[in-house]
Structure 1
Amino acid sequence: MSKKIRLGILGGGGDSLIGVLHRIASSMYDSYQLVGGVFNPNYDDNIGFAEQIGIPTNRIYKDFDVFIEEELKLPEDERIQVVSILTPNFLHFPMAKKLLESGFNVICEKPMTTTFEEAQVLQETLEKANTIFAVTYTYTGYPMVRQMKEMISTGVIGKVQKIDVQYYQGWINPIIHDKEKRASTWRLDPEKSGISCCVGDIGTHGFDMIEYVTGMEVKTILADLNYLYADNKMDIDGTILLRFAENVKGVLRTSQIATGEENNFTVKIYGDKGGLKWEQENPNYLHHLTEDEPLKVLKPGHAYNSAFSLDGTKLPPGHPEGIFDSMGNIYKGVAKAIRKEKYHPGEFPTMKDGVRGMNFIERAVASHQQGNVWVEVK
C-alpha cells in the first residue's frame, strides 16, 4: 500500500465549518495524513486547536511565512506535499502563489482569488510550477451530479437548449438590515472578499456547476444585482441571464437574502429529448424527465449509474451521502493526480475553473454597473 499524502492546512481552526468539512473529507479514502499547518492567526490558539484535534504540534507554525520556510528545510520525503487554503478570500492569492512557487500542490477554497487579474497570474505560476491545483467547488463531487454530467455528455437528454440554476440562502438577512453588523462582517468588506459577496460566494458555484455538467462554456452574461442599501458595497442578491453558443440560453438566480432559505441550490438542465433536475438539499435524487415516459428518479449506488458516479459512491443504495462525501470525492481525485494515477478529468475542479469563476464574478459586476448590459465572459 502506498504511503499517505502529507497534508497541511491554512485556516479552518476553531469552530470553522469549512475546516471540519476539509479535515473529514481528506480522511475518507485513507489517502491523506494531516501533519501540520497554521489553523489560527493567534499562535496560542493555533497550538491549542492542534492539540484539540490530536495533531502533533512540532509542525504547527507561527504564521504562513514560517510554514514555508520550515517545511522547505525538510527532506522532500518528509515535507508536506499538498496544502489546503481555507482562509478568507483576500489571502487565497498570496498564499497560493507562494506555495506554487515553492513546489507544493494546492487545494484552494473558492473564490480562488479576489480579482481576475490575480487568477491569471496564478495560472501562469502553476504552468511554471507543474504541480496539482484544485479549487473546491464542492458540489461537483456529488455522485448524482457526476451522473448528470455523464448523462448529458452521452446524449441522454439530447441537445441542451435551456438551463435554469438557482442558489438561494437567507443567512445574511439578519445582518444586512443592521448598519453596524453589515459594516463589520468580512463577507461584506471588499478589502477581504473582493468586489462581490453573493455572486462571489455562491453565484460562482452555480456558474461552475453549469459549465461542469453541460460541458459548455458561457459566452455572454447580463447581470442585475441588488445591494439593498446605499452604504453596502457588496451585492447580496442577483439575477444573471446567460448565453451560450448556438442560441442556448439560461438563467442563474442567486441570493443571500431569500428569507428562511438554508442552502437551496437547484440545477435544471433541459435538452430536446428530456430534462434533468437536482437539488443540493436532496442530493441523492436525480430526476429524469421525458415527454413520453413517466418521471424517473435515479439514486446513487445502483448499477444503472455510470462508472464515474459509482466511483464516487461509498455506500450501498439507500444510505444517504452528503456534502462531506462530496468534498471527499474531490480530495480523492486530487490524491490520484498527485500520485500520477489515472483519473477522470471531472474528479476535481482545476485552475481553469477557478480562473473562469473569477472572470465570471468580475463580468457580472461590470454588467450591472454598466447599466445591466450584455458583456463577454472570456
Structure 2
Amino acid sequence: MSKKIRLGILGGGSDSLIGILHRIASAMHDKYQIVGGVFNVNHADSLAFAKSIDLPSHRVYKDLDTLVDKELKLPQSERMQVVSVLTPNFLHFPMAKKLLENGFNVICEKPMTTTIEEAKILQKTLQNTKSVFAVTYTYTGYPMVRQMREMVLSGAIGKIQKVDAQYYQGWINPIIHDAKQRSSIWRLDPDKSGISCCLGDIGTHAFNMIEYVSDLKIESVLSDLNFVYKDNKMDVDATVLLRLNKQAKGVICTSQIATGEENSFIVKIYGDKAGLRWEQENPNYLFLMEEGKALQVLKPGHTYNSELALDGTKLPPGHPEGIFDAMGNIYKGVAKAVSNEPYNPAEFPTILDGTRGMNFIEKAVESHHKGNIWIKIENT
C-alpha cells in the first residue's frame, strides 16, 4: 500500500485552466497520489478525462454526494484523505462544507466562498473537526515571496510605511466588448461568480499578498470599481485605497482590461530603512532598495535566504522555478499538516486567509456602491 496521501479532485477536468496546475503541484514532492474524483458535471466526460490521465474508473463518481457516500464505505486506509475543490466559485462553499462535515481535509481554490456569511459557516464547521483546510493563494508559495516576508519580519526594512500591489491582466477585453459573450461567461455572472469579478479573481490575491508579506492587517478600504458597460454587473477593474494597522497605508490596483498585459502582479513594500519589490512575471528576483546604496537583487537557492524560502526551493541557484513550483509548495505544506509533521504556519494559506479575502471583496464592493467611502474590514 502506497504511503502517499490519497487525493481526490472536484473539477479540474480537460477544459480546466487550473486543473493541470493542481495535478502537477500535487505530484511535485512525491507526497500525493490522485485516486479519483468528480472532474466534470457530465459523468461520461469525467470518465473520459480520468482515462486520459490513467486513473481507474471505479473511483470517478457522478457527483459529490456519491463520492462522499462511496468513499466513507471504504476502509480508512483506502479512502481519500484530501479533496481539492477546483470548481467555479459558487460551488466552493457547499462542496467544502460537505467535505468537512464528513471528515475530509480540503484544499480550496479562491475565492473560498461567494459571501462572508458562507466563509464564517465554513470556519465554524472546521472548528468541529480535526481537518486541515487550505486556500490556494498560490503566489505565497514562491520562495522569494517567502523571503520577502521573512525579511520584513526580521526588521530588515524597518517600520512599514506604505504597501502597494498592482495586478494587471488584459484577458477579458475581447469578452467585455461583446454583448453576447459578456452575458454568457460564468465569471461575469453574479449567480456563479459572486459579487465581484476582478476583485474576486485577482484582487483577493493582492489583498492576501499584502497581509502575508507585511504581517499587518488591512483595517479599512475605499474603492472605485469599473464595470465598463451599464449592463455588466461585475467589476473588471478596481482601485482600492488601504489603511492598515500601525499607521501604514497603501493601495491595490487590479484590472482585467489592462490591454496587452498577461499576468503582471507586482508587490512593493516600503519601510523607513528600505523597500522590497517582487514581480510575478520575474519571480526569481527580489529587489532590495536602500537610500544611497546600489540596488540589490536576491535570488532563490542561496544560503543568505531564510529557512522558509530555502524549504520552498527545489533546485540549485540559477535554475528558474515558477507557478507550478509555488503551488507545489502549498501542497507540500498541507501534506506536512495532514501527516502531523512540523511545519511553518506560513507554508499554506488557511481558512482564516480565505475568510479575510471574502471580507475584503465585500467591503470593497460596498465602498464603491456607497459612493466611494471608507469601510472597515471585520477582524476575522
For normalisation by structure 2, the TM-score amounts to 0.99
Residue 98 (str. 1) matches residue 98 (str. 2): yes
2:80 matched residue in structure 1: 80
Q: 1: distance between equivalents of 2:148 and 2:296?
A: 13
Q: Which residue type is aligned with residue 304 of structure 2?
A: Y
1:46 matched residue in structure 2: 46
1:213 matched residue in structure 2: 213
Shift of residue 245, structure 1, vs aligned partner: 1.8
Per-residue displacement from partner, 1:226-251 (whole Å, max 9, x unpaired)?
01111000000010000012321000
1:1-378 to 2 correspondence within 5 Å?
3-378=3-378
Q: 1: distance between equivalents of 2:30 and 2:165?
A: 34
Q: 1: distance between equivalents of 2:203 and 2:62?
A: 34
Q: 1: distance between equivalents of 2:44 and 2:246?
A: 57
Shift of residue 261, structure 1, vs aligned partner: 0.3
Secondary structure (helix, strand or coil) at the match of 1:221 reads: strand
Q: 2: distance between equivalents of 1:124 and 1:222?
A: 29
Per-residue displacement from partner, 1:196-220 (whole Å, max 9, x unpaired)?
0000000000000000001000001
Shift of residue 130, structure 1, vs aligned partner: 2.2
Per-residue displacement from partner, 1:52-78 (whole Å, max 9, x unpaired)?
001111100011110111001111111
Q: CA RMSD in A?
A: 0.9
Per-residue displacement from partner, 1:159-191 (whole Å, max 9, x unpaired)?
110111100000001100110000001000000
Q: Which residue type is aligned with residue 7 of structure 1?
A: L
Secondary structure (helix, strand or coil) at the match of 1:222 reads: strand
Matched-pair identity in % = 70
Shift of residue 2, structure 1, vs aligned partner: 8.0
Secondary structure (helix, strand or coil) at the match of 1:123 reads: helix
Q: 1: distance between equivalents of 2:2 and 2:128?
A: 28
Secondary structure (helix, strand or coil) at the match of 1:17 reads: coil
For normalisation by structure 1, the TM-score amounts to 0.99
Secondary structure (helix, strand or coil) at the match of 1:121 reads: helix
Q: Please, which runs of 5 or more residues in structure 2 have no aligned partner? A: none
Q: Which residue type is aligned with residue 298 of structure 1?
A: L
Q: Return structure 1 stretches of 4+ with deviation > 4 angstroms.
A: none
Q: 2: distance between equivalents of 1:343 and 1:129?
A: 20
Q: Which residue type is aligned with residue 102 of structure 1?
A: N
Q: 2: distance between equivalents of 1:271 and 1:37?
A: 46
Number of aligned positions between the proteins:
378
Secondary structure (helix, strand or coil) at the match of 1:25 reads: helix
Secondary structure (helix, strand or coil) at the match of 1:247 reads: coil
